[in-house]
Structure 1
Amino acid sequence: MNGAGALVRSLLASGVEVCFANPGTSEMHFVAALDAVPEMRAVLTLFEGVATGAADGYARMADRPAATLLHLGPGLGNGLANLHNARRAHTPVVNVIGDHATSHTKYDAPLESDIAAVAGSVSGWQRRSTSTAEVGADAAAAVAAARDGRIATLVLPADVSWDDGGEPVAAPPPAARASATPEAIRDAADALTSGEPCVLLVGGDATRAGGLAAAGRIASATGAKLLAETFPARIERGAGVVAVERLAYLTDMAVHQLAGTRHIVLAGARSPVAFFAYPGKPSDLVPEGGHVHTLAPQDGAAAEALEELADLVAPGIAPDLAPLARPAMPTGPLDVQSVSAVIGALLPEGAIVVDESVTSGFALPAATAGAPRHDWLTLTGGAIGFGLPAATGAAVACPDRPVWCLEADGSAMYTISALWTHAREGLDVTTIVFNNSAYAILRLELQQVGAAGFVVGDGARARSLLDLSRPDLDFVAIATGMGVPAVRVTTAEEMAAALRRAAAENGPHLVEAIIPPLVP
């Protein structure tokens, strides 16, 4: 068996069943090996950022690693933004990076690069296979590392791939995640029952229904304010689940949420910090004199720790679950409020929502809080171009569940080619593009960072860099050109009809919602 065959079979034996690929010459033996192993699903993407974002979305929903197949250093570089998001989400991803044959590297061919340096910015584990006999063990080690919530990158030289002598190796069963220590549980309990203002900040696996139920019990018994991290990797929401407010993205709002807090108990979340530095505003959001208590780290067994803590401080207390409550269906022209209300009124049970709506989605949390139970995936690392690829992976992971991708117009253009993969694979993804013809978030940030005061004259040159018109983007034309049925809507009635139509038909759809920007 050649090295590529040993690698593919080792991935499969280790529980990796999907590979999102954008291959090149150095990966052709891997491609041939995929053809010989039909149990491994290979999904072609037209851009490496779609492959890496799809692997992230898949693993968040499947709770097991996906693989990517990328072409040398430049291919890996094209995928870095969504690998950054995956790293921040602690998503298990295995990158397979083809490289030049070892005998060829000395010639400094045009695609020669320092792959290790590129990979090092996002990878928690990386290795270069140096012999065909080692490939199977290297692949198993990569999967084991990814299961720990790391990005694992395995570089496969072309000759190691094509040479014979490889043998499949299966990764050992995944290790249990670190449990909370008795001391950490006691410290958190003391803080929560101290009588001083407390915040219980949850992330990681604590944003699933079980962890939220335990957190809700604790909040009910102690009076602590329950918050989720600003951008959770995956949060279960809706009727029958404990509702939780997220820590605000805007610094002033987050400061208000945390004002007066004396104790912050972290369960799978980081200590809160501002997303950016702003003149005259704090970077560390822990109030002065406040104390931080780590119950469970981001990659720890946070839900389990919360259950132990709840049994200690809230025995016999039942969680307060969100009731089923949809907003009334709005009418008339779309705006940021009505577009969210339509989504809240129609979101199907069991949906997976991939959210990259940015400013246009500010009303979504309230509008969907009482919708039927669903999962929500967010932009953990802030690198845009996440939504369409992550929706791709989520739909592959959960083919029996509807996926709604809530996408801003500017960020959609980063990875718009994901629509082609939606069509090719027949994925049940309904993409709603909020088209406001602007980078509205950057208009807001121009004010937040104090740069608006430095704009000269009428600011036309600065404004032009935050404007997405001249020409206007036509997402209907783009989508239909890639095989996805699409429609443009301007009213709540039109949007509701389009979403109902998409729900009644198999396969992907796109709804382009024309709305005014939140920030003029």
Structure 2
Amino acid sequence: MNGAQALITTLVDNGVQVCFANPGTSEMHFVAALDTVPQMRGVLTLFEGVATGAADGYARMAGKPAAVLLHLGPGLGNGLANLHNARRAHVPMVVVVGDHATYHKKYDAPLESDIDSVAQTVSGWVRRSLAVADVAADTAEAIASANSLKHVSTLILPADVSWDEGAATLENIVVQVDPADIDLGQAEAALASGEPTVIMVGGDATGAAGLAAAVRLAQSTGAQVLCETFPTRLERGAGVPAVERLAYFAEAATAQLAGARHLVLAGAPHPVSFFAYPGKASDLVPDGCAVHTLAGPVGAGAALGVLADRIAPNEIAATAALARPTLPSGPLTVVTSADVIGALLPERAIVVDESNTSGVLLAQATAGAPAHDWLTLTGGAIGYALPVSVGAAIAAPDRPVLCLESDGSAMYTISALWTQAREHLDITTVVYANRAYDILRIELQRVGAEAAGAGPGPKAEALLDLTGPTLDFVRIAKGMGVPARRVGTAEELADALQWAFDEPGPHLIEAVMPSIAG
């Protein structure tokens, strides 16, 4: 057995059965070895950022890692944006990066680079296998570390180690993990103080059980519950406790937190503004508010459960009632498009949301829809939704996936549509086509880069405009094998969604939207 066969066999033996790949010459023995391990599903992507994003989406829904196969340092570099998102989302992933043969590296061939250093920026575990006898143990440890600590594990596999014979396989390597730091005492004291308290949930506390525990605590003590701005996976909808998310814009988030004397972090990070703004504070915690960390992102849901059983043992969490908007009519706007989604969202849907400015009203329009999962842009690196929808659909093939994508972000990883078609995935993609980087038009004003009321000059506006030529997502999608329609009214969007939901396989709807930034 060669090193590549040992690696794949060990992956499968330890529960990793999907590999999203964009391989090159150094990975050919891995590619060939796939035919010797039928339990491993290989999924080809046309860009490394799609492979890494798909593995992120898979982990969010499966709760376990997929593998990613990348080609040398440049391939890893192309996948970094969505590896950054995965790191911030605390999802498990095993990344295999092929490298030059050990004896070839000294020649400084054109694709030679410092893979180890680049991998360290997004990984919680990095290892280079230097001998075929080490491959199985290294692979098993990578999987165990990713599963236990919920991070990206990166294994670098030199080409000669991949093709050398004499490897064995190992199962269930045990990695010692320090218990999560949980401090019930400070949180309990804050909730018992009678002072205004906010419980902010994030990490693994955004499932139904963690949300129920937080709401029980709030009902019993008068605290307020907020969710981190971009949760990894938020369960919501009818029958699930409803929790408001912390706003993206710092001004709105500051208003949500105003008056709090205690902030209990249950899996959520310390709230800060996403960017610095002239003359404004970066830390969003109000002056005089004490911050108490109940638990980090791993174990927060369980910690909330223990705390709720201690403080509010007889409390039953209120849940959202089933309620849908009435189907609207007329031109598509942020209001009408959100109401159509809310009215038609299928049961058990997985919503992957990168709608940005066009989706600002989706939360309220879908709050009473049948229970569903909402995956968000954790980490903030755009080009996320299309790849994540691929991984989510593979992890949960019995559930409909609705990908809500903005036109600018879509173009970062548009080749994910090809993988959707190739794998026959049940994904409905709505591209909100407002023909601009609307969020940057808003930010241009907020950072004070232009004179008040003057508006952007022609050169600045040209860098925020997506016309000339106008992107044609219907033709792009059809060119990659995905049936597509363009819509401009609420009635057309409703009809297109029904068409896409009723017919198996991937579909794309280009929703022509007005700019909200002027």
TM range (shorter): over 0.9
- Matching residue of 1:132: 132
SS at match of 1:414: coil
Q: Is the contact made by 1:403 and 1:430 (CA closer than 8 Å) also made in structure 2?
A: yes
SS at match of 1:242: coil
Q: Is the contact made by 1:100 and 1:112 (CA closer than 8 Å) also made in structure 2?
A: yes
Structure 1 unaligned residues grouped into runs of 5+: none
- Matching residue of 1:487: 485
- Matching residue of 1:271: 270
Q: 1:342 and 2:340 equivalent?
A: yes
CA distance in 2, matches of 1:457, 1:329: 36
CA distance in 2, matches of 1:108, 1:351: 49
Given candidates 384, 390, 393, the residue that maps to 2:382 is 384
CA distance in 2, matches of 1:342, 1:97: 43
SS at match of 1:318: coil
Deviations 1:32-61 (A, max 9, x none): 111111100100000000000000000010
Q: 1:311 and 2:309 equivalent?
A: yes
CA distance in 1, matches of 2:83, 2:480: 25
Q: Is the contact made by 2:484 and 2:508 (CA closer than 8 Å) also made in structure 1?
A: yes
- Matching residue of 1:22: 22
Q: Is the contact made by 1:179 and 1:305 (CA closer than 8 Å) also made in structure 2?
A: no
- Going from structure 1 to structure 2, the CA distance change for 1:175 and 1:501 (only over 3 Å counts) comes to farther
- Matching residue of 1:396: 394
SS at match of 2:450: helix
SS at match of 2:142: helix
* Most deviating of 70-79 and 146-155: 146-155
Shift in Å, 1:281: 1.4
Shift in Å, 1:452: 1.9
- Going from structure 1 to structure 2, the CA distance change for 1:180 and 1:100 (only over 3 Å counts) comes to closer
- Going from structure 1 to structure 2, the CA distance change for 1:375 and 1:177 (only over 3 Å counts) comes to farther
- Matching residue of 1:436: 434
Residue type of the partner of 1:240? G
CA distance in 2, matches of 1:461, 1:179: 51
Shift in Å, 1:150: 1.3
- Matching residue of 2:77: 77
Residue type of the partner of 2:212? A
Q: Is the contact made by 2:262 and 2:289 (CA closer than 8 Å) also made in structure 1?
A: yes
CA distance in 1, matches of 2:47, 2:313: 52
- Matching residue of 1:262: 261
CA distance in 1, matches of 2:509, 2:12: 37
Residue type of the partner of 1:253? A
- Matching residue of 1:108: 108
CA distance in 2, matches of 1:137, 1:40: 19
After superposition, residues 227-246 of structure 1 pair within 5 angstroms as 227-246=226-245
Residue type of the partner of 1:28? M
Deviations 1:171-198 (A, max 9, x none): 33687884564xx212211101211110
Q: Is the contact made by 2:141 and 2:174 (CA closer than 8 Å) also made in structure 1?
A: no
Structure 2 unaligned residues grouped into runs of 5+: none
CA distance in 1, matches of 2:176, 2:361: 40
Q: Is the contact made by 2:263 and 2:292 (CA closer than 8 Å) also made in structure 1?
A: yes
Q: Give the TM-score taking structure 1 as reference length.
A: 0.98
Q: Is the contact made by 2:383 and 2:410 (CA closer than 8 Å) also made in structure 1?
A: yes
Shift in Å, 1:366: 0.3
- Matching residue of 1:453: 451
Q: Is the contact made by 1:180 and 1:305 (CA closer than 8 Å) also made in structure 2?
A: no
CA distance in 1, matches of 2:85, 2:496: 31
SS at match of 1:453: coil
Shift in Å, 1:103: 1.3
CA distance in 2, matches of 1:178, 1:512: 47
Deviations 1:423-459 (A, max 9, x none): 0000000000000000000001101111122998960
Q: Is the contact made by 2:353 and 2:374 (CA closer than 8 Å) also made in structure 1?
A: yes
- Matching residue of 2:162: 161
Deviations 1:224-271 (A, max 9, x none): 110000000000000000000000110000000000110000111111
CA distance in 2, matches of 1:177, 1:371: 40
Residue type of the partner of 2:432? F
CA distance in 2, matches of 1:389, 1:477: 19
Residue type of the partner of 1:217? R
Q: Give the TM-score taking structure 2 as reference length.
A: 0.98
Percent of aligned positions with the same letter in both sequences? 66
Shift in Å, 1:106: 1.2
- Going from structure 1 to structure 2, the CA distance change for 1:221 and 1:6 (only over 3 Å counts) comes to same
CA distance in 2, matches of 1:153, 1:444: 38
CA distance in 1, matches of 2:426, 2:456: 46
- Matching residue of 2:12: 12
Residue type of the partner of 2:44? L
Q: Give the number of aligned pairs.
A: 517
CA RMSD of aligned residues (A): 1.4
- Matching residue of 2:508: 510
CA distance in 2, matches of 1:333, 1:27: 50
- Matching residue of 1:149: 150
Given candidates 401, 406, 409, the residue that maps to 1:408 is 406
- Matching residue of 1:284: 283
Shift in Å, 1:91: 0.8
SS at match of 1:451: coil
- Matching residue of 1:469: 467
Shift in Å, 1:308: 1.1
CA distance in 2, matches of 1:215, 1:458: 44
Q: Is the contact made by 2:137 and 2:173 (CA closer than 8 Å) also made in structure 1?
A: no
SS at match of 2:511: strand
Given candidates 418, 425, 429, the residue that maps to 1:420 is 418
CA distance in 2, matches of 1:145, 1:519: 45
Q: Is the contact made by 1:62 and 1:397 (CA closer than 8 Å) also made in structure 2?
A: yes
Q: 1:202 and 2:201 equivalent?
A: yes
CA distance in 2, matches of 1:67, 1:452: 46
- Going from structure 1 to structure 2, the CA distance change for 1:310 and 1:180 (only over 3 Å counts) comes to farther
CA distance in 1, matches of 2:179, 2:416: 36
* Most deviating of 79-88 and 111-120: 111-120
